[in-house]
Amino acid sequence: MRRFREEKGSALVMVMFMMLILTLLGVAVLSAAVGGARRTLTRENDIQSLQLTQKTLDESVAYIASKLDGKTLKADMLGSTLQDVLSQIPALQASNATNGSGVKTELALASTRLLSATASDDFAGSGLKGNSSYTVTLIAQSDINGVKRILKQDVKVSLYPDFLNYAFGSEKDLILNGSPTIKGNIYAGNTLRVSNVANYAYRGQNLQKPSLFPRMVERADKTQPLAFVQSLDAFTLSENGYAPRPVNRGADGSALSGDLTIANVRKALNIDLSQVRIRKNEQFVQVNVDQSFRDKFGQALGISDSVDIPDYSAYLNNVPNALKMPIKPKEPVKPVDPLSSDKTIQDQYKKDLDAYEKLYTNYIQVELPNYQKALNDLKTALTTMTGTVVFNGDLNVDGDWLKGLIQTQRSASSWLIVNGNLTINNTLDNTPLNLYSSVLVTGAVNLGGKINVDSTLLTLGNTKIQDATITGANGDKEIVLISKGPILLNRVDAFTQANVAQTLRGFFYTDATAELYGVGSNFDLQGGFFAKGNLTVNAVVGNSVEDASRQNIIFDDQTVSKTSRFKVDYNDQVFEHQGLALPRVDQISVKADKIELLQESQIPGK
């Protein structure tokens, strides 16, 4: 009985201990639940804050676009007009209201404000009259229940032609046959026609190769590509050679359901339906090659817009101090001994021989040195240009006497004007030639071999790019080539492996139609290609080689794992690199860049 008396009350201790444990567990569970609820609420506030801030930016960009995009305006009015538009942005006016309420929301304890909308001249101090490019920086902030988010977005407002905004495009039909890989936006001013069959010509025959559909993929900066069309009815799909049909129609012409429309867009371009945008051709900012050439010609030579120049060649032939190719002197021809014993004939031969020796001495001692000096002076003039230089005649940069065309100081009014044809093609070795200049050409342009470029070039003739490798100066520049006539882009790395294509770094525009082939040829275009007429791109994937008899082309299996033989990757640095030389138009283009998240310390003025 004594033992039981010693254990008296132990049950109460055990009960109290268990109650303590359960209480602690309950408090822990309750604390976790409350903490989770708080984290969820904070996350919801965070998401809502970001969404509201982005909405403020979207509405502000939409307002700017509604007031400016596609509107006609002279360059000297863009700055003041832009400032007026920015001051009237509804979100900015609401933020500047005396009550400080900002943009209204339906959330309690929530506010969103457009903190600032400022415009900076992209080329301030350049000396360019009537600057044509501004960057508008929008900064917005939202605060929901104490959770604050700040976003920034740049908007490019410019008087530059629209073709520089696209990897591929046409003011008429854009026709994509087979499997080009496209990193960037595309534009069709009439119809976008997509097929999985590539056309090509070989040994005089017009042939076809069934392949894959084009693939639009995101760029390295994660920017999603967009397809700009006139309507879904103007976006047609042709599979395995069958007649094309709108992507939102069945083979019998009946309307498809939303799911099937999405599937067809995905099939045609490897993008979501949300990445297809309607941009009416009335909003497209065209480039007028003739007018652009005239504008740059006038800037380069200081000619008033009111002066009529009906004949560029005749005008340039009368420009003082214009350069021209020196004429190489002809070596005197030594008289042949008549081998006659007749004294009269021998006397005449001796006179002819004396005259020849005098001519030859003058040729060696005077004419050749003078010619070589003139050639060296011309080479120096063309490789150290500091202002506008006029060259009358055909100019051939061949890697022999001349290895490049270089402007040491490029500006809005500094141009090389070639009154004739321009050919850049290395005929000696594999050393790249340099084209670091803004160029106007009254004739044709021919490019070949390896060329390093930092150039804007306008030509009134045709353009031929044959077996060319075009790389950017310092690895990041490009050429913007605007051609009045057709552009022939041919046999770039023909029949090489698909994954070792050389780069063509540039933007190419033609006032004519254009057809591009990545079937035997192998293209890696970093920039874009645009045509005023129809633009047709044909491509296959994998390797393509001529058979032993050179009568047929042997293709790899056309599978998604293979590399396309025509790759284009849009280069958005072109405006920064070539801005001063790019043609200007009188129709405004508005382009929004990606949104960035800021810390409060990064707000200007903080």
pLDDT digits (tens, 9 = 90+) for 242-283: 888 899 888 777 788 777 788 999 999 999 999 999 988 888
Domain count of the chain? 3
Whole-angstrom distance, CA of residue 447 vs CA of residue 467: 8
Structure tokens at 108: 């309690």
Domain termination residue (choose one: 312, 342, 373):
373
Same domain, 355 and 418: no
- Position 578 in a domain: yes
- Same-domain status, 144 and 274: no
Q: Which residue has the higher pLDDT, 22 or 182?
A: 182
Q: Extract the tokens encoding 198.
A: 């590539």
Q: Which single residue is written with the structure tokens 């652009």?
A: 292
pLDDT of amino acid 99: 47
The pLDDT tens digits for 286-296 are 999 999 999 99
Residue 483, in any domain of the structure: yes
Residues 396 and 476 occupy one common structural domain: yes
Tens of pLDDT, residues 121-134: 877 766 555 578 88
Residues 483, 252: Cα–Cα separation, whole Å: 42
Is the pLDDT at 509 greater than 70? The verdict is yes
CA–CA gap between residue 402 and residue 156 (Å, rounded) = 39
- Quote the pLDDT of residue 32: 65
- State residue 326's pLDDT score: 95
Kindly state whether residues 391 and 452 are assigned to the same domain.
yes
3-state DSSP assignment of residue 194? strand
Q: Are residues 399 and 418 in the same domain?
A: yes
pTM for this predicted structure:
0.84
Clarify whether residues 265 and 337 are in a common domain: no
Is 503 within the bounds of a domain?
Answer: yes
| Position with higher pLDDT, 37 vs 164 | 164
- H or E stretch covering 569: strand 566-569
141 forms bridges with which residues in the sheet? 113, 150
| Rg of the chain on CA atoms, in Å | 34
Q: pLDDT of 537-568, one tens digit each?
A: 999 999 988 888 888 899 999 999 999 999 99
Contact 174, 186 (CB under 8 A): yes
CA-to-CA distance for 514 and 568, rounded, in angstroms? 16
| Same domain as 111, residue 177 | no
- Quick check: is 488 in a domain? yes
Residues 6+ apart with CB under 8 A from 516: 489, 523, 529, 535, 536, 537, 538, 566
Give the residue among 594, 604, 493 at the shortest CA–CA distance from 154.
594
**Does residue 422 lie within any of the structural domains?**
yes
The residues, ordered by sequence, that sit 6+ positions from 423 with a Cβ below 8 Å of its Cβ are 394, 395, 396, 397, 398, 445, 446, 447
Q: Is the pLDDT of residue 25 over 90?
A: no
Q: Is residue 500 in some structural domain? A: yes
Are residues 316 and 231 both part of a single domain?
yes
12 within domain boundaries: no
- Co-location of 186 and 80 in the same domain: no
Same domain, yes or no: 185 and 254: yes
Q: Please name the residue that has the structure tokens 């069959």.
A: 197
CB atoms within 10 A of CB 322: 15
Residues 167 and 251 in one domain: yes
DSSP 367: I
State how far the Cα of 433 lies from the Cα of 295, in Å rounded to an integer: 28
Residue (of 553, 513, 549) closest to 529 by Cα position: 513
- State the residue range of the domain holding 543: 162-321+382-585
Residues belonging to the chain: 606
Does residue 404 sit within a domain? Answer: yes
Categorize the per-residue pLDDT at 18 as very low, low, confident or very high, splitting at 50, 70 and 90: confident
Mean pLDDT: which of 203-207, 296-300, 498-502 is highest? 296-300
In this structure, the answer to whether residues 493 and 528 fall within a common structural domain is yes
Give the pLDDT band (50/70/90) at residue 35. low
